Amino acid sequence: MPDLDATLTRAAAALAEARSVAVLTGAGVSAESRIPTFREAAAALKQDADEHTDMRALWEEFDPATLATPEAFNANPELVSRWYDWRRLKCLAAEPNAGHVALAVIERAITDRGGAFCLATQNVDGLHARAGSVNIIELHGSILSWRCTRTGAVELLGREPMLRHPMESRDGGLLRPNVVWFGESLPPGAMESAAEAAASCDVFLTVGTSSVVYPAAGLTEIAHVSGATTIEVNPDSTPATAIVDHQLQGPSGELLPRLVALAFPG
């Protein structure tokens, strides 16, 4: 495998010349912000539950890995609401890391010279926006806003834990997290906009995603067949590694700032 410095230099040269950039991110870009992934969170919350006997009984009956479905919410709205509120507060307590900030710097560098930039994320944690990114497509929704099960009306929440689980909405329904659950459709138009950006960009970055969940994972393939220079940032290889032009193997919090420093010096 070519050495990392040489690959960084080549990737930065492409980024420096780009007129349009599209990005796909996944949970890995938030790993250095210490946001637990779905499975880590399950173990952590179970440990919390062990300290609160009222939750213990619920865990016996429920497999945490199946919480992210409409069926789970309908079957046990209290547990699913408690679980997502716990993760919501974790996201609010987290800080964007240097990888998030570097992606916002790329957006400013490209748009300041009249270019196009689009960041499609599978993450629901809101950290890209807090790092300064602007043109964001949240392919899997947001854990920071919840919506009414009856009308779909979205309600923004404060920074405090919910008072009860589940909360009633203003419209007489229940509040559920405004995220895409397994088996649900992506937000209307989200994938179309992301695919359009991937098909028309000069440079495509895929950062911190295992590239196994479709349709999001298909964006790298769209960029590749459309002739974009494709760059992957991930400590591990993924199914996308075989088709990208430049594999930057390492943590995004370290490699994205190095890429930006080379592509946009000064």
Query: In the 8-state DSSP scheme, what is residue 168?
Result: B
- Between 7 and 252, CB nearer to ligand OAD: 252
Instruction: Tell me the two tokens of residue 87.
Output: 């993760």
Q: Spell out, one character per residue from 162 to 201, where the chain touches ligand OAD: x when CB under 6 A holds, - when not.
A: ------------------x-x-------------------
Q: Spell out, one character per residue from 40 to 79, where the chain touches ligand OAD: x when CB under 6 A holds, - when not.
A: ----------------------------x-----------
Contacting residues for 136 by C-beta, under 8 A, at least 6 apart: 119, 120, 121, 128, 129
Q: Among 213, 243, 261, 262, which residue sits at the site for ligand OAD (rule: CB under 6 A)?
A: 213
Q: Spell out, one character per residue from 123 to 152, where the chain touches ligand OAD: x when CB under 6 A holds, - when not.
A: -----------------x------------
The residue behind tokens 């992210």 is: 68
Q: Rounded to an integer, what distance in angstroms lies between the CA atom of residue 45 and that of residue 263?
A: 41
Please pick, among 100, 140, 165, 224, the residue that the annotation labels catalytic.
140
CB of 55 to ligand OAD, least distance (A): 22
Furthest CA-CA distance within the chain: 59
Is residue 140 flagged as an active site residue? yes
- Between 166 and 253, CB nearer to ligand OAD: 253
Tell me if 209 contacts ligand OAD by CB under 6 A. Answer: yes
Scanning 94-210, the segments in alpha helix (DSSP H) are 98-112, 127-131, 190-200
Q: Rounded to an integer, what distance in angstroms lies between the CA atom of residue 67 and that of residue 174?
A: 17
Residue nearest to ligand OAD (CB): 28
Q: Considering only residues 8 through 37, tell me which ones interact with ligand OAD, judged by CB under 6 A.
A: 26-29, 31-32, 37
List C-alpha distances in Å: 46 to 73, 80, 254. Answer: 18, 13, 32
CB of 52 to ligand OAD, least distance (A): 26
Q: Where are the beta strands (DSSP E) in the chain?
A: 20-25, 116-121, 136-138, 141-148, 154-156, 175-179, 203-207, 229-233, 246-248
Q: Rounded to an integer, what distance in angstroms lies between the CA atom of residue 122 and that of residue 35?
A: 14
**Could you list the residues that contact ligand OAD (CB under 6 A)?**
26-29, 31-32, 37, 68, 122, 140, 180, 182, 208-210, 213, 233-236, 238, 251-253
